[in-house]
Structures are given as structure tokens and as C-alpha cells.
């Protein structure tokens, strides 16, 4: 009987996922769910063949350089992999994988919640109830913004962007999108492609972000681009926090240029800009896009599927390739 590969799991995972990992691997679990610093991660990886990593792990080029040569694969418990330096991993012969598809619906559902919560001032309303400060119905009390029939701009028409667009059509929204190229006609369901981002922004009464975090998308939504949007627009972000320029967005909300925001992700999370908390017309969630029991189980199983394929000598189904290595 062959020896099981040694696997380091960096965070506490769902029960069924951990049970499968223990069955198939010589696994080191993080039962207390404490975050690894660089030294503790390197110590844990001594003699290991694989890391099952999470978005909270800092696998930068400098960290990857220090990993023991025994590490052959980093299987991410996430779709995003901006916490891993792919070029560095590739240069060190380390495979990197992710978990696409399985969290599309959960993230799209939460995006619609953000959109509705921001438009209808849900955080403000709930705060009134919880503080026992609601003094009754009024004709102009806490009026928000209609969603039905409005223009929704989608930046990034991938799996999640398309799933959000599908849901938004249930509110009779007119879908516009920007991406590197138009999606196939069978997938756009009548959505209107804008090659020019500024043109998309000019008509976006609602804007939702679903592009990856890259050097090209860093602070993509900045003061200049927000200025191009209609006054009173709503901005939603369930992608990555660094796509948004916090200073520009907070200023736009405070001046009334942007009527409301719905955020699930933040720059430098969990240490978000504290000014967001003081904005009454902000609907804020703690990175819960994929946080359903079914989705987190599926993410863990997909990460293990990638590991299983790798260790029997096959290409993992969700390998992440450094474009510069092609």
C-alpha cells in the first residue's frame, strides 16, 4: 500500500470535507482555525507534499521561495487566487488549483441581496428597528431607489456576472456589460456589450463588479470613473476589494453622487476602511459570497478532487496557469 501524501490544511473546513481529507491523505488539520503566519506555515509544511489553502493565506513570492521542495501543489479553497503568486509557484514547479463553478449561484444570490439592500436602505431600516427608534410609517420616510426597469452595468461577464444578470432580469432590469470581449450570444440573453468601460458607466444606474483582482483592475472604480456614472447610482462589489478606490467611493457616497453601496469585499480585509461603517447608506457584509453550507462543502470537495487528480498523475481539472509560463 502506497504512502499517503502529506497534506496541510490551513483553515478549519466543513466536517465532511475534513473527513474525506483524513481518509485519503496524511493530513494536518487546523482544528482551532488560527491564522498561520509565515513561520508557522513553513514549519507545518516540513515534509508535506500539498497545501490546501484559503484566501486568508499569504502565499507571496517571498513565502513560496521559502516553501520546502517537497511541496508540489497548492489547492485553493476559493475561486480567486490573488493570495498566491502564480508566477512564483510556476517557477518553483508548484501546481496551483482553484474551485470555480460551485460558488456561482451562492455569490450571485448574495450580489442581488447587496443590490436590493443598498437600493432600499436595508441597513438603515434594520438599525432603526434594533435601536427601537422607529416612530412609525411616513410618506417620505426612508425612500430608496427602484430596481425594476433600471440599467444594470456588469463589469466582468463570467460565470458569476452572467448568473447575476439572469437574476436581475427577474426585476426587468436592462443588462449592460463590459468585458475583454463579448460573451457568446447564447450566454448573453440579450445583454448589451460595451467595449468601452466609460460608455458602460455613463448609463449604469446600478453597477456590479465581477472581474478578477489583477494589476489592470486595481482601483478600477476610481474618482474619474465614478464621476461618469449617473447621479444617484448604486454600486455593488462582491468580487475583490482592491477593484475599488475606497477614498473615491466614500467621497462619492458622502456627496450624494452615489446613492448607496453594497459591499461584501474590502481592501485589506478584515481591516476595512472604518469610514464605511459611518455611511448610513451602505449595506455591508463580511465576505459571505460563498457562505452557504452546500457551497462550502462543494468547494472543499472540488479542492480535494484537484489534489486527487494530481497525485494519481493526471492534470487537475481546475489548474491555474501563469500566462507568462505558456
Q: Which residues are catalytic?
A: 240, 269, 287
Residues facing residue 175 across a β-bridge: 152
Strands (E), the chain: 6-9, 26-28, 50-53, 73-76, 95-97, 151-155, 174-178, 192-193, 206-209, 233-237, 258-263, 282-284, 319-320
**Cell numbers at 68, concatenated:** 520546502
Task: Report the candidate in 116, 131, 78, 138 with the shortest Cα–Cα distance to residue 306.
Answer: 78
- The DSSP line for 236-282 is EE-S-GGGB-HHHHHHHHHHTSEEEEEES--TTTTS--GGGGG-TTE
Distance CA 289, CA 132 (A): 30
Amino acid at each position: 500500500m502506497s504512502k499517503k501524501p502529506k497534506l496541510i490544511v490551513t483553515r478549519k473546513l466543513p466536517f465532511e470535507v475534513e473527513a474525506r481529507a483524513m481518509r485519503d491523505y496524511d493530513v494536518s488539520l487546523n482544528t482551532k482555525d488560527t491564522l498561520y503566519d509565515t513561520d508557522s506555515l513553513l514549519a507545518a509544511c516540513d515534509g508535506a507534499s500539498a497545501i490546501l489553502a484559503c484566501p486568508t493565506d499569504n502565499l507571496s513570492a517571498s513565502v513560496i521561495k521559502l516553501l520546502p521542495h517537497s511541496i508540489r501543489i497548492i489547492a485553493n479553497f476559493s475561486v480567486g487566487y490573488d493570495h498566491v503568486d502564480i508566477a512564483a509557484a510556476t517557477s518553483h514547479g508548484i501546481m496551483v488549483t482553484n474551485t470555480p463553478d460551485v460558488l456561482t449561484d451562492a455569490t450571485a444570490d448574495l450580489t442581488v441581496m447587496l443590490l436590493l439592500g443598498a437600493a432600499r436602505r436595508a441597513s438603515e431600516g434594520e438599525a432603526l428597528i434594533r435601536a427601537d427608534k422607529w416612530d412609525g410609517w411616513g410618506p417620505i420616510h426612508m425612500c430608496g431607489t427602484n430596481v425594476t426597469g433600471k440599467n444594470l452595468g456588469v463589469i466582468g461577464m463570467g460565470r458569476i456576472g452572467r448568473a447575476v444578470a439572469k437574476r436581475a432580469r427577474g426585476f426587468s432590469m436592462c443588462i449592460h456589460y463590459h468585458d475583454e470581449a463579448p460573451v457568446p450570444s447564447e450566454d448573453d440573453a440579450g445583454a448589451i456589450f460595451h467595449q468601452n468601460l466609460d460608455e458602460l458607466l455613463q448609463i449604469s444606474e446600478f453597477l456590479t463588479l465581477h472581474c478578477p483582482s489583477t494589476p489592470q483592475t486595481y482601483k478600477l472604480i476610481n474618482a474619474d470613473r465614478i464621476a461618469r456614472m449617473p447621479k444617484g447610482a448604486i454600486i455593488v462589489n462582491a468580487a475583490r476589494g482592491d477593484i475599488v478606490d475606497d477614498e473615491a467611493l466614500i467621497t462619492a457616497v458622502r456627496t450624494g453622487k452615489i446613492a448607496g453601496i453594497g459591499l461584501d469585499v474590502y481592501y485589506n480585509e478584515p481591516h476595512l476602511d472604518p469610514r464605511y461603517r459611518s455611511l448610513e447608506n451602505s449595506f455591508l457584509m463580511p465576505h459571505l459570497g460563498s457562505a452557504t453550507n452546500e457551497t462550502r462543502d462543494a468547494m472543499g470537495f472540488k479542492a480535494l478532487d484537484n489534489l486527487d487528480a494530481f497525485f494519481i498523475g493526471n492534470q487537475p481539472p481546475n489548474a491555474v496557469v501563469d500566462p507568462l509560463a505558456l
